[in-house]
Structure formats: structure tokens, C-alpha cells
Amino acid sequence: MRLLLAEDDRQLRESVTRGLREASYLVDGAADGAVALALFSEHEYDAIILDVLMPVQDGLDVCRTIRARESAVPILMLTALDAVEQRITGLDAGADDYLTKPFAFGELLARLRALTRRRGEVLSTDLTVGDLVIDTRRQVARRGARDIPLTTKEFAFLHHLARHANRVVTRAELMAQVWDDRSNSYSNIIDVYASRLRRKIDEDHEVPMFTTLRGVGYMLVISEAVAAPNAPTAPLDADSGTATTPPAPPARLRT
């Protein structure tokens, strides 16, 4: 799931972003309301977290603008103002829920889950890519009849590849989305985790899914041999085993 987090407190924004990415969310951050609206115009989000007091445009104005565009995206407001009148104002502006600072991160996650359940978008927690099934709620994976044990970071890495199956995911993208580091895309840590995932995903399978494009990035390839019914496929190069013309969209949610 992709989230927009608009919070002008840099330390809080970065801390919450790291936590959300550890929980396998994709997160775009904004330091003010104008940037938040610009990102909202460019991307489709599953939920939005808005701080009330932000520069340029505050969270209430951003919320009203989003609703004026007839978007039903769930909006969770964050505020240091705990007066009842403030919460009423936010809800009347179009917010779906309120969370008062300081807050426990676990409560933030629970409120996000509740918001998306109400919208009816998380009826299933299985992300299916070929014969690989990823349970996003329990953070476990399965290929065929074999369960695949994963650490938290391995799951985040695999989940990001699965959301973009049959497309090359660059090292820079992985470093930013999985490790929250945009300046060190050639860190050895990516290679270490890629090697672990390749062994776990392709172990005992004749047709590999985990593909490395040296110096570029990684990809989960869905070939005809591992495709589930009606799943998209990508032709493989006979020599390298890499996908030659990755189609989109890649993965699907099992309902």
C-alpha cells in the first residue's frame, strides 16, 4: 500500500516513515501542504496522513482540497491540539480519523488498518505473483507448497519486488524504499539480502523467479512455467534468464 505522509517536523516525519516502511508500506513524505497536494496530484494513494499545523497550507486546507476533488481516499489527521473543537473541525473538513500527538506508533498502524478496512480495500491480504504468494498481514511468503521464512527486511525487499513484478527495481529505489537511504544505492547490504532472497525463493525450483541485472537492480520474473492462472508473463532470454519485455500491471490481489 502507498501512503502520503505530510508532516513538517522532520524528525517525526522521518521516524514515522521508517516505521511505516518497516511495516511494508510505501511512503511519500511532504514537509508542507503545498508539496502534499502536488504529490497527491501525481500519485494514487491508499491512505493519507496529514499534520494539521503545516506551513504554506495547513492540513485542514489540504484535506478540504482533496475532498473538493471528489477523492474518497482515507485521511488520518495528526495534531498536537487535543481540544474537542479542533477534532470536530478536522472531521468536518473531510478527515476520517484523528490521532493526537504524541502517539504510539502501534496505534497509528492500527488506525490505518481500520481506515482501509472501512474502505473495503483490504478484504484479502494475499499478494500473488506467479506461484509465489505473499501474505501481507502476517508478513510471510509461500511458493508452491513450501513456506518461506523471512526476516522483516527480507519481507520488505520481497514485497517491493512483488508489487513491481516483471519490472526492474533499481538499487536506488530499493535503498530509498526499503532502507530509507537515498544516498547509498551501492551499499553491499543490498547484495547480501538479494543473495538470501534468491536462495529462499528459488530453492528447489527448476524455473527461477529472482533475477539480478548487474549494476542496475533486481526483478521478480513471471514465466509461463510459474505463472498462476491468468497471471501475466514475460519472455525470458535463453542465455541470461532475464526478462526481455516486462509487461504491466504485474501482480494481483487475490480476492
Other beta carbons within 10 angstroms of residue 249's beta carbon come to 11
Confirm if 25 and 3 have CB atoms less than 8 A apart.
yes
In terms of average pLDDT, the best of 86-95, 103-112, 236-245 is 103-112
Domains of the chain: 2-119 (3.40.50.2300), 126-253 (1.10.10.10)
pLDDT at residue 222 in the model: 83
Q: How confident is the model at residue 75 (pLDDT cuts 50, 70, 90)?
A: very high
Nearest CA among 143, 138, 168, 181 for reference residue 24 = 138
pLDDT of 66 > 60? The answer is yes
Tell me the whole-structure pTM to 2 decimals: 0.57
Q: In what order do the strands lie in the sheet with 97-100?
A: 26-30, 2-6, 47-51, 75-79, 97-100
pLDDT at residue 138 in the model: 74
**Beta bridge partners of residue 75, listed in sequence order:** 48
Which amino acid, 178? Answer: V
Cell numbers linked to 207: 524455473
pLDDT at residue 6 in the model: 96
Q: What's the average model confidence in pLDDT over 54-79?
A: 93
In terms of average pLDDT, the best of 89-103, 122-136, 241-255 is 89-103
Strands (E) in 2-152, as ranges, are 2-6, 26-30, 47-51, 75-79, 97-100, 126-129, 132-135, 140-143, 146-148
Tens digits of residue pLDDT in 188-200: 899 999 999 999 9
pLDDT at residue 224 in the model: 55
pLDDT at residue 205 in the model: 85
Q: What's the average model confidence in pLDDT over 196-215?
A: 90
Of residues 138 and 108, the one with the higher pLDDT is 108
pLDDT at residue 238 in the model: 32
Residues 219-232 as b/e (b if ≥16 CB within 10 A, e otherwise) read bbbbbeebbeeebb
pLDDT at residue 160 in the model: 87
Q: How many CA atoms lie within 13 A of 77 on its CB side?
A: 27
CA distance 147 to 154: 14
Q: How confident is the model at residue 239 (pLDDT cuts 50, 70, 90)?
A: very low
Of residues 184 and 139, the one with the higher pLDDT is 139
pLDDT of 73 > 70? The answer is yes
CA distance 8 to 16: 12
> Please, which contacts does 92-96 make with residues 24 or more away whose CB atoms are closer than 8 Å?
93/60, 93/63, 93/64, 93/67, 94/63, 94/64, 94/66, 94/67, 95/50, 95/63
Torsion (CA) 57, 108, 179, 11 in degrees, nearest 10: 50
pLDDT of 234 > 90? The answer is no
What is the bridge-based pairing of β-strands 169-170 and 2-6?
unpaired
Confirm if 166 and 243 have CB atoms less than 8 A apart.
yes
> Would you call 174 helix, strand, or coil by DSSP?
helix
pLDDT at residue 226 in the model: 46
